[in-house]
Amino acid sequence: MNKRDLKKFRMALEQKREAILNATSKKTHWQNTEDMRHGDFVDQASEDNELHVNLRLLQVDSKLLRAIDAAIERIEKGNYGICTICEKEISKARLNAVPWTSVCIACKEKKSA
């Protein structure tokens, strides 16, 4: 992979990382609530559900941030765009779609099956 492509992918990764960090730094409703129950059981269940959804979203963001950081590290080490399983080149189309991926589409499909 040439330096221009690496620079493009690194910039895309850093922009995605920044967007995630900015989105998660904003306080959400559930972070501002105190440990006080109010309303009926339906209201409480709805609030609990919202809390669980927000926590799950934070977990997904955290996992994505780790994948982005790992991709940036692969760029620095010089092995970005190489599948970590079969060690073949990952297609540019896949990297354009998912720049933080560490596996080629064939290995991803085998892993998912």
Q: Which of 106, 102, 95 is nearest to 2 (CA)?
A: 95
Kindly list the domain boundaries of the chain, sorted by start residue. 3-25+42-112
Q: pLDDT tens, position by position, for the chain (113 residues)?
A: 899 999 999 999 999 999 998 887 665 544 555 555 567 877 777 787 888 887 888 888 899 999 999 999 999 999 999 999 999 999 999 999 999 999 999 999 998 87
CATH of 3-25+42-112, one of 3.60.60.10, 1.20.120.910, 3.30.1330.10, 2.40.50.140: 1.20.120.910
Give 89's strand partners: 82
Give 82's strand partners: 89
